[in-house]
Amino acid sequence: MLDFGCGNGGFLRRIKKQGNMARAFGVELDKTTRTHLLQEEIEVFESIDNIDQSIKFDIITMFHVIEHLEDPYEMMKKLRDRLTDNGLLIVETPNAEDALISQYHSESFMDFTFWSAHLFLYNSYSLEMLMNNCGFSTVNNNQIQRYPLSNHLYWLSTGMPGGHAKWKELNCGVLEEAYADTLRGLRKCDTLFGIFKRNRNG
């Protein structure tokens, strides 16, 4: 498997502990981070082009990476070509239709979210269309609500993040689940989570 944009390697460490993967790789631009991971005997590279071209992956993961890519179309095609015939690409990325944007129109949250490192933001439709145009079929196109109602109320009240920690007394499992279910039904959760399969004729 390959974790594309592996950051400090937290996911790769968990995979390594499981011991059920034949081989796990990472791609990470930051040189200092790569140096630390290599010292832990984690196979990490600056670019996917630096990984032996004969190696194909059963799974490629991208956790909060695709929104940073300058040319997502070309990169998705490149990743598709490195998957096995039945290989899967797992993508997690912020939702452009997050309730704080599309429902509550929080200017402070939009200032927080629309920053220079986020080159593209996707909704469920645009993410799926990108993947389909790059030679993938959709296995699953879900949404996840990471932050509870307390976080959203704090944003609306103060214009600041961290409400789920500041207003812990409002965190209630039943309430959080109901709120997340409501946002999921509206397609306004904060996070997109898609699983895409390589088309053999892609």
Phi, psi of 66 (to 5 degrees): -60, -30
Spatial contact of 51 and 22, defined as CB atoms under 8 Å apart:
no
Hey, what are 90's tokens? 């797992």
Tens of pLDDT, residue by residue over 7-43, are 999 999 888 877 666 689 999 999 999 999 999 888 9
Alpha-carbon torsion 71, 73, 79, 82, what sign?
Answer: negative
Cα separation, 43 vs 87, whole angstroms: 20
Contacts of 175 (CB under 8 A, 6+ apart): 148, 149
What local confidence, expressed as pLDDT, does residue 18 receive? 75
The bridge status of strand 57-63 relative to strand 2-4 is: parallel
Q: Hey, what amino acid is at 11?
A: F
pLDDT at residue number 14: 87
Q: pLDDT (tens digit, 9 = 90+) per residue, 113-166?
A: 998 889 999 999 999 999 999 999 999 999 999 999 999 999 999 999 999 999
* Predicted confidence (pLDDT) per residue in 74-121, tens digit: 999 999 999 999 899 999 999 999 999 999 999 999 999 998 889 999
pTM equals: 0.91
How confident is the model over 154-187, as pLDDT tens digits?
999 999 999 999 999 999 999 999 999 999 999 9
What is residue 10's DSSP assignment? H
